[in-house]
Amino acid sequence: MPFAVLVRGPSMVPTLRDGDALIVRRGGRPVRPGDVVVARFRTRPDLLVVKRAVRAQDGGWWVLGDNGLVTDDSRAYGVADVVGRVVLRYWPRPGFMLRFRTG
């Protein structure tokens, strides 16, 4: 079942901005490197984040923000477990999420 999330903070700029509203899908096709995902860090299970999946690691994913100046991602918190894959931004600039390789 899809669910909605709201982006908070600058870690995914320029792809996503603070205030963007997203539709996230659980299940479906497997996560692949380059997908934008919603995840929880194993070291911070209280924190739900929107990041880009980089590589599978230790049964989870290494996730990074698109904004290299913000390091609130796997560089700080380690491996994350993906909750779902972002498929659509519906506000304020509607559009499907495009996949691309990072690094």
**What is the Cα–Cα distance from 87 to 47, expressed in whole angstroms?**
20
Domain borders along the chain are 3-96
Task: Give residue 99's pLDDT.
Answer: 57
**What is the Cα–Cα distance from 93 to 75, expressed in whole angstroms?**
29
**What is the Cα–Cα distance from 92 to 102, expressed in whole angstroms?**
25
Three-class SS of residue 13? Answer: coil
**What is the Cα–Cα distance from 44 to 32, expressed in whole angstroms?**
23
Task: Give residue 98's pLDDT.
Answer: 58
User: Under CATH, which number does the domain 3-96 receive?
Assistant: 2.10.109.10
Mean per-residue pLDDT of the chain: 92
Digit-coded pLDDT (tens) for 44-96: 999 999 999 999 999 999 999 999 999 999 999 999 999 999 999 999 878 77
Task: Give residue 18's pLDDT.
Answer: 96
Task: Give residue 38's pLDDT.
Answer: 98
Q: Pairing mode, if any, of strands 95-96 and 80-91?
A: antiparallel
